[in-house]
Amino acid sequence: MSIKVIAQRRELKIGKNPGAKRFVMRPDLYSAIAEKKVFTEAATHSGISAGVIKAAWEAAGAVIRTWATEGHSVPVPGLGTMRFGVRAKAVEKLDDVKTGLITTRRIVFTPSVDVKDELKNTSIQITCLDEDGTVLKRVTSGDSSDIEDPESGNTTDNGNTGGNGQNTGGNQGGGSHEPIGD
């Protein structure tokens, strides 16, 4: 299994080098999996009927929503924890504090160590494209990459960085480069 990424050459519109052409990476998004398929797979793996799993999951979801809206950080078994958060404008005076300062309500999910390790150990497969979408090469890497930790705002550096701690997208872990053509 690998995470698929697209690196497409584009002209930069903003930033330090507007007009320069750079390979910009983005995830190669898959289609959404139907909820029914999730319950069917879980039933296959557990020996419990899909209906019972669905009922239990819906009950757990209701409990998680209730506790999270009460301000708790709630465990999502096997995945991590979730809580609700807000982004808001800062004000100087007490009299200016009001709910209208809240710009975004958001869900904060912190993956478990097991989920972080799984992500860290999953290889990355990059397909490099030119501006027109023509495949230039594929890069498959077995190395681990930096894992963002939303709680601390830091990344776990696994030696695959360049410049100010930014992931270079390089292939330093002994993976392979597979040119297209020939």
E strand or H helix at 167: strand 166-167
Note the pLDDT of residue 151.
Answer: 55
| pLDDT value, residue 148 | 53
The pLDDT, as a whole number, for residue 146 is: 55
Question: ∠124-130-132 over CA atoms, to 5°?
Answer: 125
Whether the Cβ atoms of residue 27 and residue 5 lie closer than 8 Å to each other: yes
Residue pair 9/30 in contact by the 8 Å Cβ criterion:
no
Task: Using the predicted structure, report yes or no on whether residue 116 has a pLDDT greater than 70.
Answer: yes
- In the prediction, which pLDDT does 169 show? 36
Q: pLDDT tens for residues 44-93?
A: 999 999 999 999 999 999 999 999 999 999 999 999 999 999 999 999 99
* pLDDT > 70? residue 137: yes
Indicate whether 101 pLDDT > 80: yes
Sheet (strand 176-179) strand order: 21-27, 2-11, 123-129, 135-141, 176-179
Q: What does the alpha-carbon distance between residue 138 and residue 7 come to, in Å, rounded to a whole number?
A: 10
Which helix (H) or strand (E) element contains residue 43?
helix 35-46
Q: Is 163 left (phi over 0), alpha (psi -120 to 50) or beta?
A: left
Higher pLDDT, 58 or 168: 58
Per-residue confidence (pLDDT) for residue 103, from 0 to 100: 97
The residues, ordered by sequence, that sit 6+ positions from 55 with a Cβ below 8 Å of its Cβ are: none
pLDDT given for residue 153 in this prediction: 57
Question: Taking a C-beta distance cutoff of 8 angstroms, is the pair 28, 2 a contact?
Answer: no
Query: Domains of the chain (ranges plus CATH)?
Result: 2-31+116-179 (no CATH), 35-110 (4.10.520.10)
In this prediction, residue 87 carries a pLDDT of 96
Find the Cα–Cα–Cα–Cα dihedral 133, 137, 142, 146, rounded to 10°. Answer: -50
18-38 confidence digits (pLDDT tens): 889 999 999 998 788 999 999
Its pTM stands at: 0.60
Confidence of residue 162 (pLDDT cuts 50, 70, 90): very low
Q: What percent of the chain has pLDDT over 90?
A: 63
- Which residue's structure tokens are 């004000």? 91
Q: Are 63 and 82 in contact (CB under 8 A)?
A: no
pLDDT grade, residue 2 (50/70/90)?
A: confident
pLDDT of residue 1: 74
Query: What does the pLDDT average to over 88-117?
Result: 95
Starting from the edge strand earliest in sequence, which strands make up the sheet with 74-76, in order? 74-76, 80-88, 102-111
Mean pLDDT score of the chain, rounded to an integer? Answer: 81
